[in-house]
Amino acid sequence: MHLVNFKNYELADLTFLPAVNCFTGLNGSGKTNLLDAVHYLSVCKSFLNPADNQNIKQSEDLFVIQGKFDNDGNEDEIFCGLKRNSKKQFKRNQKEYERLADHVGSFPVVLISPEDSVLISGGSEERRRFIDNTLSQTDKNYLENLITYNKVIVQRNVALKQFAADRRFDNDLLAIYDEQLVMFGMPVYNTRKAFLDEFAGVFNANYQFICASGGEFAKLEYKSQLDEGEFTDLLLAARDKDRINQYTTVGIHKDDIQFDMNGNAVKKFGSQGQQKSFIMSLKLAQFEYLYKVKKVKPLLLLDDLFDKLDDIRVQKILQMVSLGNFGQIFITHTDHTKLAAILETTGTEYKIFDVQQGTVTA
């Protein structure tokens, strides 16, 4: 991987092992930025900062990330470049993509970070993002339908606000938007529902392995307004409410996943340890699902993981690593010596990069 003016890196060149690669250094030195660069090359965007311009090194005009992916001997060179206030450029083997969506899913990736706690503590949009991130890497039609649906929602909401400003209401225009929402929203709804049915079993198996307790039962349940009736009828019934609120109140953009533990909401009744196990199980299930569908092991990015988990959970993760359950792994940690000692117990080949304020040495 080669970086130019990316975040706090003026220039960096890194060569990775196919097994475990680690970035160690003090907090704020740029460890997570290296994970983010890998994430960029995989899914065309940052997991830390969605505003692309803000990922350009301060006082510079552009950034470049280049990386070579080796998949069973087939090598692909990926280029990502951005000039400040310009359109992001993404290339595969020197050929530019017409749409970034065409790249998503080519190199599947799973990220596990401390910020994942928002899946439990945050709003429904965080849990929808988790579903969408998974399905967008496996189903091009899903991604296309979701992108189009979101565009129509924006257009419909703009129209509702304009109606209020002009003190008028156009039922015919809303009917056109509603037809499009149904056309693109129903496939998303059906795919999400089928996905959760399959995903729940994989999640439960991971939860039982990590917590090693037979007395806890974790459950995922998909919740959607579309469960209550035909989408067209629901939109029509909500039209007056939408006019008053000036935004669309019904649709798949309101979907959620309910997290339960022994019949109770994890958010309210789950202990800190249970919540950590829950999130870890979600992410490992995501890894397994992507592997099953894509037939290639996703890259696994573990950000500050071992500092956030107790010894039992760390031991479980390392057990899975030593069994060869994963492919290429990238880990950040503050303590070089401690991380090396942990990895020695796995018998797995690893490489540690020391990071100091924008410089990297192996």
Determine the 3-state secondary structure of 327 from DSSP.
coil
Cα gap 1→21, rounded to integer Å? 13
Quick one: which of 219, 176, 181, 166 has its CA closest to 197? 219
Q: What ranges make up the beta strands (E) of the chain?
A: 2-6, 9-13, 20-24, 62-71, 74-83, 89-92, 95-96, 109-112, 218-223, 256-261, 264-265, 299-302, 329-333, 350-356, 359-361
pTM: 0.89
pLDDT tens digits along 141-153: 999 999 999 999 9
Architecture of the structural domain at 118-295: Up-down Bundle (1.20)
Distance of CA 360 to the CA centre of its chain: 26
DSSP 32-75: HHHHHHHHHHHHSS-SS-S-GGGGBPTT-SEEEEEEEEEETTEE
Same fold, 1-108+299-362 and 118-295: no
pLDDT tens digits along 34-66: 999 999 999 999 998 889 999 999 999 999 999
Tell me which DSSP letter residue 253 carries: G
User: Residue 197: phi, psi to the nearest 5?
Assistant: -60, -40
Strands 329-333 and 299-302: what pairing? parallel
**In whole angstroms, how far apart are CA 2 and each of 66, 160, 354?**
5, 47, 16
The per-residue b/e assignment along 250-271, b for 16 or more CB within 10 angstroms, e otherwise, is bbbbebbbebbbeeeebbeebe
> Looking at the domain 1-108+299-362, which fold is it?
Rossmann fold (3.40.50)
Cα gap 231→225, rounded to integer Å? 8
Domain ranges of the chain: 1-108+299-362, 118-295
pLDDT band with cut points at 50, 70 and 90 for residue 206: confident
Distance of CA 335 to the CA centre of its chain: 26
Cα gap 362→354, rounded to integer Å? 6
pLDDT tens digits along 294-351: 999 999 999 986 766 666 667 677 777 777 788 999 999 999 998 898 888 888 899 9
User: Residue 352: phi, psi to the nearest 5?
Assistant: -115, 130
Q: How many CB atoms lie within 10 A of CB 287?
A: 25
